[in-house]
Structure 1
Amino acid sequence: MSNKMPVINIMGPTASGKTALACELYERGEYEIISVDSALIYRDMDIGSAKPSKAEQERYPHHLIDIISPLEVYSAAQFVEDATRLIDEIHARGKTPILVGGTMLYFKALLEGLATNLPNASPDVRQEIEANAALNGWESVFEELKRVDPVAGEKFKVSDRQRIIRALEVFKLTGKPITQLQAEQPKQLSYRYNYHNYALVPDRLELHNRIEIRLKNMWDIGFLSEVEYLIEKYDLNENLPSARSVGYRQALDFLTNSDRSHKSKQDMEDKSLFATRQLAKRQYTWLRSLQEVHSMQNFLTIKQAQEDLRNLHG
């Protein structure tokens, strides 16, 4: 019997029902919820991130929601630091933490640790990279990355702008490829907790249907008005990590670069649907990768998860 403190991880693609499952467990009174979502961290980004409503958050409090403005940057390392602090605080209160979300990089960082031999971010270097992209295009920047770090070039796509920026930033600061530094860093597995890993993995067609319904609801309740507000309040632009979240990226492009015609709006909605489905596909890929290393129980439906977790004890 392990004497390590328990942590419940509930993972899954977008719209799979993770939050509803976590909230049901919360009702038992012995758990607290920590969000593992790189979009929910931003204040005022509510509709497009499918953030729990204020009423839902009052009933089911979530840690790590609304912690920074859309102008700020938040890393996986910051998540691990915040999450482990919260996990320890929750355990000290005699409860069990439930970590729920779809940002698999955060889960991977928590479960496996992060390389500690990488330099901190450099605003000057990042500005230089983004200026090069604005002048010569992201294809040119991606070609530069492939020259200095072929391994990263094989792993990344030209659309992975944040990863490209970070990889080039590390090379410019150290003279070494980020993939080399990561390989040289021994894995620092977290042995502090006893992780119970669960994944909601609905049938793809069912998930696609849920995504379509969720997006339609977003448009109906005023998602575009939310993005207009963000542009006005924060001068939201495509260079901010927050604006690259699926849905926000397409809405921002529509509002700032299109004629706002009915056709352009329909194109934007179609692009958002496609991008969200692609996000879900990447999340499935991440899950398979994590399952190769970590013990994990899969559920095809929320009902199955509810039945299997009914007798769950931290």
Structure 2
Amino acid sequence: MINRDHPIPPSPANPIPLLAIVGSTAVGKTGLAVQLARALDGEIVSADSRQVYRMMDIGTAKPTPEERAAAPHHLLDVVDPDGDFSLALYQDLATAAIAGIAARGRRPLLVGGTGQYLAAVLQGWQLPRVAPNPELRAALEREAEIKGASALHARLALVDPIAAAGIQPGNIRRVIRALEVYEATGTPISAQRSIQPPPYRIVTLWLTLPPALLYARIDARVDAMMAAGLLAEVQALRARGYSWDLPSMSGLGYREFRPLFDGTATLDDVVTRLKYDTHAFARRQPAWFRRLPGITRLTADAPDLLERALAAAQV
């Protein structure tokens, strides 16, 4: 039991009890998290790299106003779509939010599906603090356009084969970031990333579903997003001048609309592609979850899910 009146500062001998709720997109994390937050007198810290952006609500599947009213949420709507946001900044903000929640005598819940965000907090990554270099990024983006993403990835492999092995060639943003850190410091990013156990007592609830059922949920969510006005949301973002090349606009849920605006695809094509891309994303996510500490797997459609989650959360 957390003593709300006299919270004790965290230390290796007195770690903060941290409950993480992870799982592939559309598996049901938010619904369970809100129920747990209410039952455990907790507050939710988002671990979603897309939900940090303002004005991007439908395509990122942000918690609804009702869900946000039911339990306090942190790290939603942090920056505008053209704002800079890094893994290191996320780690700093999440760490501060968790400490603040515990200091108020409440239970922090880390909830999301962005693997790097979860690992940085739960594994205590020590990250290089290198500021973005817009000129270098622009030059590397041009190089990728001219020579192809695989050529840029090969360039990274020459200076940091460890980082290159862990980054897909098509993930240009991560390739560029690794090259940016190397250019700024002369040291591979893989050599600068270490792990220091964080001051938490961690329980990680990993929600799972059979692939066919998860894909059905994804498809239903995409249909619901379209009905809720996702196209209008994208139109509003473009009307505000936000470029397709921004990390926010080139992410899942938004990039699929670019061919529609270019006149090379129909809306039906966009919906089909969005479902396909989301299925692929959901297949990749578990590779991160398997590495997280304190894992308890729970079937997301179990009739006694809340009871099982509450039992596992008692640390």
TM, length-normalised to structure 2: 0.88
1:149-180 residue CA offsets vs partner (Å, 9 max, x unmatched)? 3333333222111111111212222333323x
Q: Which has the higher helix share?
A: 1
Q: 1:257 aligns with which of 258, 262, 271?
A: 262
- Indicate the SS of the match to 2:294: coil
Structure 1 residues 271-286: aligned runs within 5 Å: 271-286=273-288
Aligned partners of 1:176 and 1:127: how far apart in 2? 21
Aligned partners of 1:212 and 1:12: how far apart in 2? 17
Given that 2:46 and 2:73 are in contact with CA atoms closer than 8 Å, whether structure 1 keeps it comes out as yes
- Indicate the SS of the match to 2:203: strand
Corresponding position of 1:298: 297
Corresponding position of 2:113: 102
Q: RMSD of the alignment, in Å?
A: 2.1
The alignment status of 1:148 with 2:168, answered yes or no, reads no
Corresponding position of 1:173: 184
Structure 1 residues 66-105: aligned runs within 5 Å: 66-105=77-116
**Unmatched 5+ residue regions in structure 2?**
2-12
Aligned-pair distance for 1:255? 3.6
Corresponding position of 1:247: 253
1:119-140 residue CA offsets vs partner (Å, 9 max, x unmatched)? 3322221122112223433333
Given that 2:18 and 2:108 are in contact with CA atoms closer than 8 Å, whether structure 1 keeps it comes out as yes
- Indicate the SS of the match to 1:310: helix
Corresponding position of 1:112: 123
Aligned-pair distance for 1:39? 1.0
Aligned-pair distance for 1:214? 0.4
Given that 2:46 and 2:74 are in contact with CA atoms closer than 8 Å, whether structure 1 keeps it comes out as yes
Q: 1:189 aligns with which of 197, 207, 214?
A: 197
Distance 1:285 1:63, change over 3 A: same
- Indicate the SS of the match to 1:241: coil
Distance 1:259 1:301, change over 3 A: closer
Distance 1:98 1:247, change over 3 A: same
Tell me the amino acid that sits aligned with residue 279 of structure 2.
R
The alignment status of 1:205 with 2:202, answered yes or no, reads no
Moved more, 149-158 or 33-42: 149-158
Aligned-pair distance for 1:256? 3.1
Aligned partners of 2:143 and 2:92: how far apart in 1? 32
Aligned partners of 1:152 and 1:116: how far apart in 2? 13
Aligned partners of 1:48 and 1:75: how far apart in 2? 20
Percent identity for Structure 1 against Structure 2: 34
TM, length-normalised to structure 1: 0.89
Number of aligned residues: 302
